[in-house]
Structures are given as C-alpha cells and as structure tokens.
A and B are shown apart, each in its own frame.
Chain A
Amino acid sequence: MSAQYKLIHCTINGKKVEKMVDVRASLTDMLRNDYHLTSVKKGCEVGECGACNVLINGEAFNSCIYLAVWAEGKNIQTLESLLSPDGELSDIQQAFVEESAIQCGFCTPGFIMTAVEILNAGKFYSDEELRKLLSGHLCRCTGYENIFRAVKKAMYRRLGKEIDF
C-alpha cells in the first residue's frame, strides 16, 4: 500500500472500525463510500451548505471539509445512528415529521444532526439563539420556518416545558 493510504481507527455510530483510507479523502467520502452511510449528503463539498453535517465527538462538523484521516480516534455519529434498534424515531426526528419540517429531505440529515448537538447541550435557547445556531445550514424548500418549529418543540420537550408557538 502506498503512502497515499493510511489506516484509521475510529468509532462510527457506536461501532469500532478500522479502515485504510486515501489521505486525500474527505470524511464525507469515507462515510458514504466505505460505510454506505448515505444520509451524509453532498450539496457543495466546500462547507457552505451543511448537508454533510455529522457529529464528531458530539460536535457538529461539515464532513466534506474534514479529512477522513482526521477521524483517527474520533467518535462519529451520522443520522443513521438516531433510529432505535426497533426502528423508532428519536425525539428530534419525530419533531421534524410532526412539524412538516421535511420537504425534499436533502438538507434534513444535516439539520437534524446540528439539532442533536443543540439539544444535547441541555440548555434553553432563545428564538434568536436557535436561529443563529442553525444558520450554518441552507434549505431551499422550507424557508426554515418549520425546521425552526421542530427544533424548538424538541428543545421544549427535552426541558419538560410547555410550548406555545
């Protein structure tokens, strides 16, 4: 194997894996091509749109501008990890479904993973803060309105608060 390839050890969706990766490959390439995690979407491949967003050690990253080799020792989570073993949607996925926050669905995985990071912080965010936290993602279908509602609803539910839109 040439110097162009490197052995990487990491955890993907809870499973420890090791893989020879092309040192030029992005994490998006690795997740899509080597692990068939096709929820990781390619909308620009230069970190503009957010469609390829995944969690790395709990933090949201655009995987298209994150080299696969940097994943060494990291814990990576994609949207595929959120479904329970018996196929139940997680709270944030359910909120996206209930609030009609999904249209073409292409930006959805990235948005949901950022929302997971937001919700896992366990904090209450104002509307303004939520908008800012979500603004790294582009969507052309929804005008962001129902995505905002879904994330806000899930945040209120996690914090045990009543929501009134």
Chain B
Amino acid sequence: MSKVGRSEIRVDAFDKASGRTKYYEDRVPADALYVRIKHAEIAHGFVKSVDKSAAEAIPGVVKVLDCFDVPDLPFPTAGHPWSMDPGHQDIADRHLLNQHVRYWGDDVAVVIAENEVAAHQGVRALKVEYESLPFVLDVQKAMEDGAPQLHEAFPNNILKHTGMKKGDYSSAIKEPGLICIDKWYDTPTVQHCHIENHGCFAWQEDDRLVVVSSTQIPHIIRRVVGQALGRPWGDIEIVKPYIGGGFGNKQDALYEPLCAWCSTQVGGRCVRLDCSREETFVSNRVRHAIRFHIVSWLRKDGTIAARKVECFSNQGAYASHGHSIVAKAMGSFPQHYPCENMECDAYTVFTNRPAAGAMRGYGMPQASFADESNIEDCAKALGMDSYEFRKKNVMPKGFHDAFSGNTNYYDSFRECMTKGAAFIDYERKKKEYANDTGDIRRGIGMATFWYNTAVYPISLETSSNRMLLNLDGTVTFQCGETEIGQGADTAYAQMVAEAVGLKSYRDVHVKSCQDTDITPTGLGAYASRQTYVAGFSIRQTADLLREKILNYANEVTRQAVANMDIVDGNIIRKGDGSVLMSLSELAMTAQYNPVHSEHITAESTYTIRNNAYSFGCTFAEVEVDIPMCKVTLKNIVNVHDCGNLINPALAEAQVHGGMSMAIGYGLSEQLIFDEKTGKPLNGNLLDYKLSTFMDHPHLEAEFVENPEPTSPFGTKALGEPPACSGAPAIRNAILDATGVAIDRNPINPHVLYAEFSKAGLIHDDWKEAK
C-alpha cells in the first residue's frame, strides 16, 4: 500500500503533546549571559554618543557595547540563497548596531549581563544622545523630492523599480465603448505572531562559533553570520532545534549575527539573546504594506481590454527581502487574469518603519486583496455576477508562462470555484441575501489566487539529503528543508518510506534538528517548497540507497539486481514475489561481514529547475451589523489544488492556519504608528488584534487533487496559499451585503464607520447636532 496520500499522525506529535519537545530556550545553558538590546526612541536620526558609565556600574553587568564598537561590515539579512552574480545579491545595508537610526526601535547598543534583571537595568541606564532628523512613514511621501533620505545609495528612497509590459496599453484603452475602473487599494503592516518569539544563543568552541537559533534557514544563517562578523563561513556552525512557528519572520537573519558577535566580545562565553513579544513586533520583520493603483478597461461583453497596475511597497527601514516581494505581487496580475494589453510597475520604497521581510504568502495576500477587490468592482460595474466574470477571465487551462516554465495542466481554477460554490451554496444564498435590507444584512463573496510553489528561476532551487540504513532495517533521514510546524518531517517520512520501500513511515527516523556541520546543505523552510523540492532529492537519494542495498543483496542472495525489489521493508524476488531477506538482515550482514563490511548510506543533491502553479479560492459569508459597524464571519471555505496530498489531515490543518491568518488580515490585524513620532502604538498581543477562538466560524478546507506532472510525488504548494484569498473574499462579502466597496484592509469597525457614514448607511446624529 502506498505510504503517501495517507493521513498519518505527525512524527513529532507525541513529544509535542507530552511537552518533551525542546525549543531553543529549553536548551540554553544555565550559565549563559543575557544580552539585552537598547532600541532607539526616535524614528530617524543619528546616535551622537552613548554614555555607558551608569550601566557598567550595575552589579552583574559584564559588558556594554554600542554602535560605535561594531565592525564596519554591512551585511544583508534576507533568507535568500546566495547568488554568485553580484547584481543579484541582497542589499547589504545592516550593521550589527546602527549609528544611523532609521526606525523607532532600531538597535543602537547592547548590555551583556550575568542575569536578566541586570541586563534590563543596564539598558535602562544607558544614556543615548541623538541628533533627530525628519522621518517619513508613507510610501508616496517617501518618494517625493526633499523627503527624508534613509539610505544614501537610494535616491528618493526607491530601493528598486521594475515593470512589465504586454501588448500596447495606451492604444488599447482608446477602443470605443470601454468601461474604466480606476481605483486604489491599501494593505496594512502586519506581523507574523508566531507564538515562540525569536531568540538564539551562541558560544565559541575550538575557535569556531556555534549558534543555536529559532530560525527557518540554518544554512543561510551560517553565511550571514560569517558575512556580518567577517569570518570564514566554515567557522560558523548553526543549530536549528524545533521552533515555535516562523511564517517568514525567521526566514531572515534576525539576531544571530549580533548574538554571535556578543559572544566574541566576552571571550567566547555563551550568551543568549531572547526577543520579547514587543521586540518581535517592532524589531524583527513585518509584512510589507503595499498600496496598489489598478486601472481596468472592460468591454461590455465581460472581457478585459487592458489593465494597468502600479504597486508601491513599504519596505520600512532596511532592505531585508526587498523588492522580491512586490515583484512577486506584480507578477501575479498578468497571469491571474491574462489580458492582451497590460502595463505593470512595482516600486519598493524605504520608510522609517520596521523592516518588512518575508511573510506567509510573500506579496500575494496583498496582491490578492487588490486584484480580487478590483475584479469584484469590475464585475459590479458591468452588472455581471463576479463568479461568472471570474470564470470567464481567470487563467485558462493550458496557460503557459515562458519565464517560470509553468503550465496550467488542468482547469484548476474553475474546478476549485465549482467545488467552493457547491459547498457554500453560493447561487442560492447570493439571491436570498440580495433581499436583505435592514440594519443587519448578509452577504457572500469570493476570491481566487494562484501561487508559485518554489523560487525557480528567480533563485537557486537545490535540495540535498542523506539516508542511512540502520541495522534494524529502518532509515535515518536528514535534509536541510526544515520543520517549522507545518509538518514537513512527517511528509518526508512518508515520501522516504514510499521511495525506499519501507513498511511504514514510522520506519523513517527524520532528524528534525539541523546542524550545518552535519546536515546536508539545504535552503531551509520558505516559499511553499519543502515538500515539492525535497521530493526530487528524496526520490533520487532513495534510488541510490536502493541500488546499494540491492547490489549487496545480489552478493548475498545471488539473485540478479534487476530481478529484485524492496517492498515493505523486505527484499523480494520479482519473479515469484518471494521474500529473500529483510532489510534488517541485509544491514546486519553487510555491517558485520568480516570480508566485505559496508555501512549502507546514500546522499545526493538535486538542482530543481521546475516550478509549479498552485491554485485555489475562498468563499466567505458574512453578517454585517451596519449601525454597530461589526462584521461576523458566518461561514468560510478554502478550496486548493496543491496536487496530490501527501498527508490529507496535515494538509487540512495547514489550510486552517492560513485561513485564520487571512481572517485576521481581512478584519482585524494592523500594526499602527504614531504619525507625530513614528512610534509603533500596538506592538503587543493585547492591542494588536490577532484572531482568537471566538473570531472564527468552522474553517472548511477542501481539495482538488490534480497531480503535478513535474513533481516525483505529484505535489505542489500548500504552505502559503491558504493565506492569500481569504481577506478579499471577506471584503467582497461585505460589499455584497452592504453595497459598500472597502478598498483597504483590515476592515475593522473604524474603517466601516467611516465608509458607512460616507455611503449614507449610518448617520452620526451627535455630530450633526453639534
């Protein structure tokens, strides 16, 4: 029986349910010194001086270091594969501590102390003198001439501008009879909010540096620590234990370089650097707030004649993942609703906000909100049902993208839409809710998305792994694509069992903890690529391992290699299906053979030069209390075509989590800043409104399993896709319920109050009376 396509229990479930699983903080040695960071209390300016004396006098304080002590080695932080092409390398704009303060919360000094209290007291005792400069929080304002400049090398704060053109937009819009929908859409700054904050600890061993970190990308962190400290990359060893979520925040070098450097400043002693929740909100990474301007030109027959899309991405203070996020957002438009004439432009702009980096969906939740809001608005302007408008215009079967090499092999969009509409009873409810007129009105809405599974051809896609045949016939497996909660280790166990021919996925021991000295090099967990890319190398390494096993079996059994197979942990003769020996017998014989001893192991690297479209949609049903400006989500379903499911139960669980994030993105989550000071105002889990148990209805996850032809296991992206289409589906349901098109998220009561007032749905009698 196949080992994949089954809802197996997670390999780490028992340990996590019993509290045994060790995260980085559970492994910190008791004698580690504490590092606390002094964060800037201005949004923009220069540190003139740091008076360390009071901090140094506090008992327990071991060392105080500031932005004038760090090496002048600017380094990049993005968790991208290194590129040998200097033109394709990430921007190196960080120092370990910064003299030029670029956002409220920037790192200017550290206190290293024997205990946590002394470290805190030391930070409070630091006297930092600043020269304040004007700051800018808004993308458009940051691009203006004369705006405060964040980085010398980037005039008008534009990190990068790229565009793409198809057909002839300016001629196409002259076609008589076109309807023009010209609108702006705004998406917010949000944070990942993994429940485990980032932290790490570091020490020197044999003159090398070891860093244990809550990261998604150990091998990339090794390179960045090397760059930041000016040390050979082989001097650095990164260990990644279990982590309490990442969602892209930990796909960046956060504080590993600073922590490692602090160790070198105290004679190589072990130092720990733990982010508080408040630091996680402000001084880690956030999702890019992207503003979109979309101009759609429509024919009365419901086709799209031309479209112009401008995207302005708020990068915050440092480049991190930079332009790649908005580039991905922009790139989604021409393929989502292909039309003959398109013009797209994307700008990434520095502002004095926290640095934006990778976050689940990597630009697509933003693009999806704008695109699917606009498509809804287009359908409404044409008087068409948006479901039909989408079916008419969304990417057709057979669509091929020359750049990525992706092909839409099936009619996945329409299959997903049909399934979602059936589940939620779309047509009937759409008609029924149209009759609602009172204070409380119901509505139904939808949105679709597509998503690229991996990062080819923009960046390197490589996967390596090692398989070791144990003496009991089980296989130990190691790879560089990390478990971050998504269930990757379980998917690997199932795929390895399938590819090698083991009896059960339980016969695969996945070494969850990566150690860059030992684990085959991989790029970690990001994009939605782990299962897809690891699939290639798992199949390849399994073939190598099988070859070694069968070659040895040939010596022992004298049967031709071609006439043997490995099935359910046994070596069998294909001719009659008889069991020749078990893998355990083979391994024991091979290991302890006094004449020809062999420990059977295989290792390989696969360079993936494919990518795969993943598709899906959300249908949402809301009840809007107009006078209360309150939206209740009554029903929501996501449908995904992510190819064959390796583990349906875990796939469903992934979808739930993404839907939850999308609900927060649609209705409540937003990091807000004081316009007067640039200070973040709600960087904690009380004031930042993450969805709770009370904010969700039942979350329904459905699948269309069209096997992905490029994947050895027929699988493709699922990690990020569930976060993409939820927010616009909710927005469109609110539009359906109230007739009010809200062009920004989150759609919270503050926004609804303003929009409903403008639409004349509510009247502020008090204000009028005044």
Contacts and interface: CB of A to CB of B under 8 A. Distances in A.
Contacts of B277: 43-46, 48-49
B667 to A, nearest CB: 14
B316 interface: no
B245 A102 contact: no
Contacts of A134: 693
Nearest to B245: A104
B487 A103 contact: yes
A19 to B, nearest CB: 15
Q: Could you say which of B17, B484, B650, B661 has the most chain A C-beta atoms within 10 Å of its C-beta?
A: B17
Contacts, number: 165
A99 B323 CA distance: 40
Given A41-B244, A45-B276, A144 B696 contact: yes
A103 B21 CA distance: 12
A120 interface: no
Q: Is the interface of B mostly helix, strand, loop or mixed?
A: loop
B684 interface: yes
B117 A24 contact: yes
Interface string B19-56: 11111011000100000000000000000000000000
B18 A93 contact: yes
A146 B195 contact: no
Interface string B651-683: 011001111110100000000000000000000
Interface stretch (B8-16, B123-131, B163-171): B8-16
User: Chain A interface residue count: which class?
Assistant: 35 or more
Nearest to A139: B195
A153 interface: no
Contacts of B653: 100, 103, 141-142, 145-146
A76 B243 CA distance: 26
Contact of A79 (B13, B18, B30, B197): B18
Interface in B182-204: 192-197
B17 A38 contact: no
A66 interface: no
B750 interface: no
Q: Is the interface of A mostly helix, strand, loop or mixed?
A: loop
Contact of A43 (B14, B192, B195, B657): B195
B244 A106 contact: yes
A132 B276 CA distance: 27
B434 interface: no
A108 interface: yes
B242 interface: yes
Contact of B13 (A39, A42, A97, A145): A97
Interface in A137-153: 137-146, 148
A116 interface: no
Contact of A97 (B7, B14, B242, B486): B14
Contacts of A106: 23, 194-196, 244-245, 485
A80 B19 contact: yes
Nearest to A150: B17
Contact of B486 (A33, A103, A132): A103
Contacts of B691: 143
A57 interface: no
A102 B245 CA distance: 12
Contacts of B22: 38
B595 interface: no
Contacts of B30: 33
A44 B684 contact: yes
B694 A112 contact: no
B690 A148 contact: no
Given A100-B649, A141-B245, A145-B696, A79 B656 contact: no
B698 A145 contact: yes
B389 interface: no
Q: Could you say which of A106, A107, A108, A146 has the most chain B C-beta atoms within 10 Å of its C-beta?
A: A106
A73 interface: no
Nearest to A98: B9
B13 A131 contact: no
B18 A83 contact: yes
A104 B244 contact: yes
A88 B242 CA distance: 23
A102 B13 contact: yes
A140 B657 contact: yes
Interface string A21-42: 0001000000001000111011
B656 A39 contact: no
Contacts of B369: none
A143 B694 CA distance: 11
Nearest to A130: B693
A49 to B, nearest CB: 6
A17 B243 CA distance: 31
B694 to A, nearest CB: 5
A147 B276 CA distance: 26
Contacts of A142: 653, 656-657, 660
Contacts of A93: 17-18
Interface in A76-110: 78-80, 82-83, 89, 93-94, 96-98, 100, 102-109
A141 to B, nearest CB: 5
B421 interface: no
Interface string A45-75: 1101101000000000000000000000000
A82 B657 CA distance: 27
Nearest to A83: B18
A85 to B, nearest CB: 13
A112 B652 contact: no
Contact of A146 (B12, B14, B15, B656): B656
Nearest to B246: A104
A35 to B, nearest CB: 12
B121 to A, nearest CB: 12
B505 interface: no
B70 interface: no
A140 B247 contact: yes
Nearest to B487: A103
Contacts of A33: 30
Interface of A: 24, 33, 37-39, 41-46, 48-49, 51, 78-80, 82-83, 89, 93-94, 96-98, 100, 102-109, 112, 131-132, 134-135, 137-146, 148
Given A98-B9, A132-B693, 7 more contacts: A38-B23, A44-B684, A48-B684, A82-B18, A97-B17, A112-B17, A143-B663
5 contacts: A43-B277, A49-B277, A89-B14, A100-B10, A107-B244
List the 7 closest pairs (A to B, CB-CB), nearest first.
A39-B19, A104-B485, A106-B244, A143-B660, A105-B16, A143-B656, A48-B685
